Amino acid sequence: MSKPDFITMPRVQLRQYILDHREDDEAFQTYLDRFISEDAVIFPAPQSIDSLQINYFIETQSF
């Protein structure tokens, strides 16, 4: 049985594969590499409930 192509596999499918095959280190490493890639967008955590509410308000407004 051949392994699936983890590079082209959608993230949701890869995640399910990892959950079903927890011993597959190659699949897990590919999944981690997607989070660590330079193209990944990292958003800072809110510092308070007020800042969280302000961000939510800004995101839900349609301009």
Q: Which tens digits make up the pLDDT trace of 51-60?
A: 777 877 777 8
Which residue's entry shows tokens 């193209």?
39
Q: How much is the pLDDT for 19?
A: 96
Q: How much is the pLDDT for 61?
A: 78
Say how far apart CA 63 and CA 58 lie, in whole Å.
10
Residue 63 has pLDDT above 60, yes or no: no
Helix boundaries (H) for 1-63: 11-20, 25-36, 49-60
Q: Does residue 16 or residue 63 have the better pLDDT?
A: 16
Q: How much is the pLDDT for 62?
A: 62
